Amino acid sequence: MNNSALITITDLVKRFPMGKREFTALSNINLTFNGGEFAGIIGPSGSGKTTLLNIIGSLDVPTEGKAVVLDNSVGNLNTRQSADLRNQYLGFIFQTYNLLAVYTVFENVELPLLLLKMAASERRKLVNQSLEWVGLTDKVNSRPAQLSGGECQRVSIARAMVKEPKIVLADEPTANLDAKNSHHILQTMEKLNADLGTTFIFATHDEKVIQYLKRKISLEDGQVVADEVKG
């Protein structure tokens, strides 16, 4: 594990308006994530896992406190800067895969590289490599509708990993998968973490995922109640 801090969260509070009142989703969060971690934010539904992940992914901003991701204070970034941060350094894996239905597997995985304005030959090389990592080289021309749930999530991992980001944020990646597929994709991510040193942060309450985590941060009612590192 690389001990330099990639993410530093200090006194973070997130509130959402709910009618005339406010709902506090996260309260007084202080966390640090180092390079190469395989960590998970765990807790029941409504505990604030996804909200915290969204702030780390600069898709949302803190109401109070600071979240510094790769030396960028998320609350101070303009839309262009936060888009650049996501584009260059972050990868996302979603519970419902979020693959573009009209694109082929190749085109879905290629999309982040297109946004990076990479040359076609380079794109092809990286997409093929990424699909090799997840074992889907035989499905390049398939469309998401032709794939199983497990395969879709593997495409989603390939898309997140294709640009070799510093951090991958996975929000309930196994929620829609059976046990066999869940283990398969978790093993794939574990291997990528080990081989490439990519930091993985999960938001999950799935026991199958939790057993793979090297660090477990437990959230309850928007507060960190435990932060354990596996022996």
Partner 1 sequence: MLALKLAYRNLMGAKLRTWLNMIVLSMAFLVIIWNKGLLNGWDQQARRDTIDWEIGGGVYWQENYDPYDPYTIEDSHGRMSDVTLKAVEDGKLTPILIAQASIYPEGRVQSVSMRGIDPAQALLDLPANKLTGDNSSVPAMIGQRAARNFKLNVGDYVTVRWRDVNGTFDAKEMQIVHIFKTNVSTIDARVVWVPLADLQEMMQMPTETTLLVTSQEAGFQGSIPGWIFKDHYFLLTEIREMIEMKSVSGQVMFLILMSLAMLAIFDTQVLSIFRRQKEIGTHIALGMTQRQVVALFTIEGAMHAVLAAILAALYGFPLLYLQAKSGWSMPEGTDDFGMTIADIVYPSYSLGLVVGTTLIVLITTTIVSYLPARRISKMNPTDAIRGKIQ
Contact with partner 1 (CB under 8 A): which of 27, 47, 54, 130? 54
Please give the Cα distance from 96 to 31 (Å, whole number): 27
Element (H, E) at 156: helix 149-161
Q: Which is nearer to partner 1, 159 or 216 (CB)?
A: 159
CA distance 123 to 112: 10
Q: By CB under 8 A, tell whether 61 contacts partner 1.
A: no
The size of the interface with partner 1 (CB under 8 A), counted in residues, is 28
The residues, any chain, with a CB within 8 Å of residue 227's CB and separated by 6 or more, are 31, 215, 216, 217, 218
Contact region for partner 1 (CB under 8 A) — 67-75, 90-98, 179-187, 211-219?
90-98
Closest CA to 97 of 147, 58, 140: 147
120 or 226: CB nearest partner 1: 120
Residue 142 is which amino acid?
A: S
164 lies in the binding site for partner 1 (CB under 8 A): no
| Residue 54 vs 153, nearer CB to partner 1 | 54
**Is 59 one of the binding residues for partner 1 (CB under 8 A)?**
yes
Contact residues for partner 1, defined by CB under 8 A: 50, 54, 57, 59-60, 79-80, 83-84, 86-88, 92, 94, 96, 98, 100-103, 107, 111-112, 114-117, 159
